[in-house]
Amino acid sequence: MVRSLRLLLHLGLMVMTGSILGAHSAAKDLTEAALAFLGSLDAAERKRVVYRLADAERENWHYVPRERNGLRFKDLSPLQRERAIALLRAGLSERGWEQAEAIMSLEQVLFEIEGRSHRDAGLYTVTLFGEPSEHGEWGWRVEGHHLSVNFTLVAGQAIATTPSFFGANPAEVRSGPRKGLRALGELEDLGRELVRALTSEQRTRAILPIKAPADILTTNQRQITLAAPEGLPASAMTEAQQRVLKQIVRAYVFRHRPDVAQTDLDRITAAGWGVVHFAWAGGLEPGVGHYYRVQGPTFLIEYDNTQNNANHVHAVWRDAERDFGRDLLREHYARDPHHGAVPHASESAAESSTSPSTGQPRS
C-alpha cells in the first residue's frame, strides 16, 4: 500500500508545468478539468463519483480521517490521479496548491510517527455534484484528512468556494528529513503578529477571557449562523494593524484561484472592513495553545492550534450565506424556477457536526 505522496507530488509538478490556469474564465477552466477527469473514468467509477447537485452528500463534509464517498486517489490510475489533481489545482492559487500539497504529504509523516493505516495520502477523495457545464449548476469536492475544498458553480457567472478547510498535523515537523516544514505557518504568524501589535487597552477587547478551545467552534457544521461578533473591530485599530488584519483574510481567501478570490474579497470589502472583528484566545508565545477568529458581516475565519501540545492546526473559512453556493443557487432558481429547488443542510441525513468532546475521532 502506497502511503507517501511521491507519485502525487510528481504528478503535481507535471500539472504545474502545464497548468490549465490562464486567460480562460474560471468556469471554463473548472469545467474542462472536471470533464477531463470524468472522461478518464468508466461507467462504474462515474457512478461512484457523481451525485446529484441536490444530494445531501454535497454538504456531508469533514476534516478528520473517515470513510468518504467518491473515488480515492489510491484507487485511481496514474492518468486519473493526474486529472483529479488538475481539477484541484484549477480551483486553487499557486500558494493554495503548495499548502494543499504539503497537507497531504503530512500523512506520510504521521504514518512514520504512528504507523497507523489511516495515515495514508491515497485516502483523499474526489466527488462531483451535477453535470459539469460551463454555463450550468454543478459542484465538486476534493477532501481528506485536514483538507476540504468545495466549489459550487452557478450559470457560469458565480462561484462559491466555502466551506474551505485547511489543517496541518504536525503544524511544524520537528524531526526527520522534513524537519522545519510548516504547511500553514503564515496563518499562525499573521495572527500572532496582529495580537502582539495591539496596545494593552486593545488587548482587553481582543483577547477573550476563555481557554483556547480544543477545536474550531463551528467544527464541520453544514450551515453556520453568525452570532454577534466578539473581540476588537477594525475601526478601533490603527492603519498598520488593519493591514495585518487584511493580510490574514487574504491568506484564507487567496487559497483559491486569484480571479475567484478577488471576487470574494470584493464582497468582504463591500460589506465594510470597519466592522470586521478580531478575537484571540490562549497564549501569545509559540508552543502555547491558541485560537483566533476573524468575523465580518458575511464571513467567519477560525484558526485553532491546541491539540498535540499546540502543534496541530485547524483553519477554516466559512460564509454564512454562500457556503455550498446556497444564496447563489437560491437567486438563480428564483429567476429560473424550472431548474429545481435549492439543496439545504436540513435535507442532509444524520448530522455530523458533533463537537470533539462527544467522542468523535481525533484528527
Q: What is the pLDDT of residues 125-181, one digit of tens each?
A: 999 999 999 999 999 999 999 999 999 999 988 999 999 999 999 999 999 999 999
Q: Are 33 and 90 in contact (CB under 8 A)?
A: yes
Q: Are 187 and 251 in contact (CB under 8 A)?
A: yes
Q: What is the pTM of this model?
A: 0.88
pLDDT at 210: 96
pLDDT at 310: 97
Cell 456531508 sits at which residue? 60
CA distances from 246 to 24, 64, 155, 170, 277 (A): 28, 29, 30, 26, 11
Nearest residue to 324 (alpha-carbon basis) of 156, 149, 157:
149
Cell 457512478 sits at which residue? 47
Cα distance between residue 37 and residue 149, in whole Å: 16
CB atoms within 10 A of CB 230: 15
Phi-psi region of 168 (alpha: psi -120 to 50; beta: other; left: phi over 0): beta
CB atoms within 10 A of CB 227: 9
Q: Are 181 and 280 in contact (CB under 8 A)?
A: no
Where do the structural domains in the chain lie, given as residue ranges? Answer: 6-160, 185-319
User: How, if at all, do strands 299-305 and 313-319 pair?
Assistant: antiparallel
Rounded to the nearest 10 degrees, the angle between the axes of helix 6-17 and helix 94-114 is 170
**Chain-centre distance for alpha carbon 215:** 15
Average pLDDT, 10 consecutive residues per value, the chain (363 residues): 43 37 75 98 98 97 97 98 98 98 96 88 97 96 98 93 98 95 98 98 98 98 96 98 98 98 97 98 96 98 98 97 94 73 42 34 55
Cα distance between residue 75 and residue 99, in whole Å: 23
**Residue ranges of E strands in 98-175:** 125-129, 137-144, 147-154, 158-160, 164-168
Burial class (CB in 10 A: 0-12, 13-18, 19+), 16: middle
Q: Are 202 and 237 in contact (CB under 8 A)?
A: yes
pLDDT at 16: 37
H helices present in the chain, as ranges: 6-17, 26-39, 43-49, 78-91, 94-114, 185-197, 200-206, 239-253, 258-271, 307-310, 326-335
Q: Are 239 and 269 in contact (CB under 8 A)?
A: no
Number of separate helices (H) and strands (E) present in the chain: 11, 12
Cα distance between residue 290 and residue 282, in whole Å: 4
pLDDT at 115: 85
pLDDT at 19: 33
Preceding amide of 361 cis, omega within 30: no
| 349 contacts: CB under 8 Å, gap ≥ 6 | 56, 60
Which DSSP category does 92 fall into? Answer: B
Count of positions (residues) in the chain: 363
CA distances from 178 to 101, 117, 230, 253, 314 (A): 14, 21, 38, 27, 20
